[in-house]
Structure formats: C-alpha cells, structure tokens
C-alpha cells in the first residue's frame, strides 16, 4: 500500500517553534518512528510552503497512490485551488490538523478540503497522522 503524507506551509517548523501549540517533536523524527511502526506500508512524506507545489504533488500521486494524508495548514482555510485539486483526483484524502481548529479563531473553522475528504482528524497532535494511516 502506497500512502503519502503531504504537509503545507510552516509545518517544516514543527518542533522548532511554538511548542505549546504544535508540540516539541520535529516532523522528521515523528515520520521516521511512524515508518518503523508500519513497515508494510510504503509511506512517503512531502512538505512545501508553496501552494502550487502542493497542488502539483496532489496531481502527481492522486491517480496511483492508495491514500493521501493532507495537512494543508493555513491553505486549508484559504485555497480554492487545493480544494479543487482534492476534488479532481481518485486517491482518497484524509485531512489532518494537529491542533483542534474548532477551539481556535473562527477563520480556522472553514476548510476548502473537507467536503471532498474521506474523513477529517483534528486535535490529536501528531498522533492524528497515525490515526489517519490506520483509516486506510
Ligand atoms: O493544526 C494544524 O495542523 C494546522 O493545520 C496548523 C496550521 C494552521 O494554520 C491551521 O489552522 C491548523 C499552522 C501550521 C504552522 O506550523 C507551525 C509549526 C511550528 C511553529 C510554527 C508554525
């Protein structure tokens, strides 16, 4: 089974800034642990701060992979283009957010991804990615 985790803008700072909101573990460390927990899954990881690069990656994997775990970060709340990309592909997408966006500012309550996602996991910290992986 081929699954990719796609992270959006600023998530490259995980573990390096704002530990009270996003925790103190880097995503690279978390990802390596996750890979060793799921040796049977061909798990890859992509991060970009650039909206068009995220769209290109969704197009690239969206007809051949078995699943996409997508944390589009702030673009979740702003990007019609990412929402359209998720709608246009065949691979199921699970939307993940580390924080509980519904406990935060109202602008984080809207998602352009959610309507076309297979499911949504919010507020469980980095563990949300593992929960998403278990859903495929
Ligand atoms: O909770 C999430 O996973 C979010 O997708 C994170 C986004 C935020 O804009 C969404 O509303 C919810 C922000 C990612 C920023 O990541 C940082 C990590 C460490 C330090 C600073 C930013």
Q: pLDDT in tens for each of the 136 residues of the chain?
A: 999 999 999 999 998 887 887 888 999 999 999 999 999 999 999 999 999 999 999 999 999 999 999 999 999 999 999 999 999 999 999 999 999 999 999 999 999 999 999 999 999 999 999 999 999 9
Token pair listed for 63: 């007809």
Tell me if 54 sits within 8 A of 89, measured CB to CB.
no
Tell me if 112 sits within 8 A of 83, measured CB to CB.
yes
Q: 13: helix, coil or strand?
A: helix
Q: What pTM did the predictor assign? A: 0.97
The reply to whether ligand 1 has any atom less than 6 angstroms from the CB of 84 is no
Domain spanning 2-134: CATH 3.40.50.9100: yes
Tell me if 112 sits within 8 A of 79, measured CB to CB.
yes
Best residue among 6, 8, 9, 11 to mutate for probing ligand 1, ranked by most atoms within 8 Å of CB: 11
Tell me if 3 sits within 8 A of 66, measured CB to CB.
yes
């Amino acid at each position: 089974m081929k699954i990719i985790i796609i992270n959006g803008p600023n998530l490259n700072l995980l573990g390096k800034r704002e530990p009270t909101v996003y925790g103190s573990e880097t995503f690279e460390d978390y990802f390596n642990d996750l890979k060793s927990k799921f040796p049977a899954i061909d798990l890859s990881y992509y991060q970009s701060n650039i909206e068009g690069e995220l769209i290109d990656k969704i197009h690239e994997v969206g007809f051949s992979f078995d699943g996409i775990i997508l944390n589009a970060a702030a673009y979740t709340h702003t990007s019609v283009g990412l929402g359209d990309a998720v709608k246009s592909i065949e691979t199921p997408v699970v939307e993940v957010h580390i924080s509980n966006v519904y406990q935060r500012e109202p602008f984080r309550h809207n998602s352009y991804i959610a309507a076309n996602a297979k499911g949504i996991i919010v507020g469980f910290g980095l563990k949300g990615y593992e929960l998403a992986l278990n859903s495929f």
